[in-house]
Structure 1
Amino acid sequence: MSLLEQTAAWVKAHHAGDSSGHDWWHIDRVRRMALRLAQDEGADPFVTELAALLHDVGDWKFHNGDEKAGSRIAREWLMTHHAAEDLVVHVCGIIDQLSFKGAGVNTDMPSIEGRCVQDADRLDAIGAIGVGRAFAFGGKFGRPMYDPDIPPELHATFAAYKSKGGPTLNHFSEKLLLLRDRMQTAAGKRLAASRHEFLETFLQRFLAEWSGDA
């Protein structure tokens, strides 16, 4: 099997049983979207697909806040399979910079391949699937859907963002509604517009039903 095939099989097993919205199907959607963006942007499809497959193998949210867990695990996998050092550096660099780290933290990508993967990952966090994933994650970690007495917070640092634990609905203001304006590819920006609109419609309906107005 090729490196991509081996990686896909390993990642699928690695994410088996996840119920937080970070399962294999999330990885697969990000991979397919990243490749779509890569084609439009002229990015290297091999690097893009490999980084997309590995982008969540060590997500800090599941590794006690360790923001280097992902690149460390990815590096070990790639080195075991004799990947070239420049490829390892590129893929691990993408993984290190990929995650949203708070409203006040810049996470722009230096490479076009990284921008394609990051936009694809962020597109999967908004729209209908994004809503489903947000509540799946909140339920997994015992967070309430909504508490009007706990306002959202725009975190200025990654440390503050990592320590958050508010209701799921706060996550919309703290992250999801910010992603449209942080897209870096032309197609990503186009696709994010309609998904962002869906988020706004959902929030309006949720709050109307919460208050008994709908």
Structure 2
Amino acid sequence: MRDQNIEAIKNYTKAIMLKDQTGHGMDHINRVVRLANKIADTEQCDHFVVIAAAYLHDTVDDKLVSDPEDAYKQLSEFLASLTISVSVVERIIHIVENISFSQTLTGTREKLSIEGQIVQDADRLDAMGAIGITRTIYYGGHKGNPIYDPKILPRTLQSKSEYRKDSTVINHFYEKIIRLNTGLNTNYAKKIGQKRQEFLEEFLKEFMKEWNE
């Protein structure tokens, strides 16, 4: 029955994210699921909650959906239609509500369960390294942001509203992406994150070198 529920959850996500052109499509979702599954194997956790939340984590994101409140309503109704307990539904939704980077800027993020920490790690790892670099540039292009402007300095983000304001693609690395490594939760993710962080830092050094040549 759990396999059937996971398949239904996957299909629900696919219907929402399949046409995404921001770097949060099903390729991203599937990588997060795979990473979350690997991390979950190293922790004492509920694998079903991990995989379900990994599939659903972007389906209500306010930068991706036009009406987040309605998206949450639809998600709650969908999960209630499955053969899972109310408590499990609440655990999944709590993760979806609290794993995003922007939540750290609002001061409203609630403490994540180990399952939430795993999904957050998997999501953050996919924003790092070669894949993360590609996704960041792809998202910046989607938003119409300039690649780089030395006159526009990176910000120290203090609020979600500031975070949502456009900047340059390269500034986004300094404002968010390069900071993700210090926020990883699990030992398995930290090992992967270190390698991806080093790759990211080398990329930024090379970018600046070539820009200034």
Structure 1's 144 and 103: CA in aligned 2 closer, same or farther, altered over 3 A?
farther
Q: CA deviation at 1:157?
A: 1.8
CA distance in 1, matches of 2:27, 2:195: 22
CA distance in 2, matches of 1:176, 1:57: 21
1:76 aligned residue: 77
Q: Trace 1:93-112 onto structure 2 (pairs within 5 A).
A: 93-101=94-102, 104=105, 107=109, 109-112=111-114
Q: Which segment is superposed worse, 185-194 or 12-21? A: 12-21
Taking structure 1 as the reference length, the TM-score comes to: 0.91
Structure 1's 2 and 64: CA in aligned 2 closer, same or farther, altered over 3 A?
closer
Q: CA deviation at 1:155?
A: 1.1
CA distance in 1, matches of 2:153, 2:70: 31
CA distance in 2, matches of 1:28, 1:2: 17
Q: CA deviation at 1:160?
A: 2.1
Q: Which segment is superposed worse, 53-62 or 95-104? A: 95-104
1:186 aligned residue: 187
Question: Which amino acid is 1:40 matched to?
Answer: T
Taking structure 2 as the reference length, the TM-score comes to: 0.91
1:199 aligned residue: 200
Q: CA deviation at 1:17?
A: 2.1
Structure 1's 200 and 148: CA in aligned 2 closer, same or farther, altered over 3 A?
same
Structure 1's 109 and 133: CA in aligned 2 closer, same or farther, altered over 3 A?
farther
Q: Which segment is superposed worse, 94-103 or 172-181? A: 94-103
The answer to whether residue 156 in structure 2 is matched with residue 154 in structure 1 is yes
Structure 1's 74 and 116: CA in aligned 2 closer, same or farther, altered over 3 A?
same
SS at match of 1:60: coil
CA contact (8 A) 2:59 2:65 kept: no
Q: Which segment is superposed worse, 164-173 or 125-134? A: 164-173
Q: CA deviation at 1:123?
A: 0.2
Q: Trace 1:1-214 onto structure 2 (pairs within 5 A).
A: 2-63=4-65, 66=68, 71-101=72-102, 104=105, 107=109, 109-162=111-164, 164-212=165-213
CA contact (8 A) 1:102 1:175 kept: no
Question: Which amino acid is 1:62 matched to?
Answer: L
Q: Which segment is superposed worse, 102-111 or 145-154? A: 102-111
CA contact (8 A) 1:153 1:174 kept: yes
CA distance in 1, matches of 2:181, 2:83: 37
- Let me know the Cα RMSD of the aligned residues: 1.9
CA contact (8 A) 2:105 2:158 kept: yes
CA contact (8 A) 2:5 2:83 kept: no
Structure 1's 80 and 102: CA in aligned 2 closer, same or farther, altered over 3 A?
closer
Structure 1's 104 and 80: CA in aligned 2 closer, same or farther, altered over 3 A?
closer
Q: CA deviation at 1:104?
A: 4.9
CA distance in 2, matches of 1:20, 1:87: 30
Residues 107-130 of structure 1: CA deviation (Å, up to 9, x unaligned): 574200000000000000000000
- Aligned pairs, number: 210
Structure 2 unaligned blocks of 5 or more: none
CA distance in 2, matches of 1:187, 1:157: 30
CA distance in 1, matches of 2:104, 2:175: 7
Q: CA deviation at 1:72?
A: 3.6
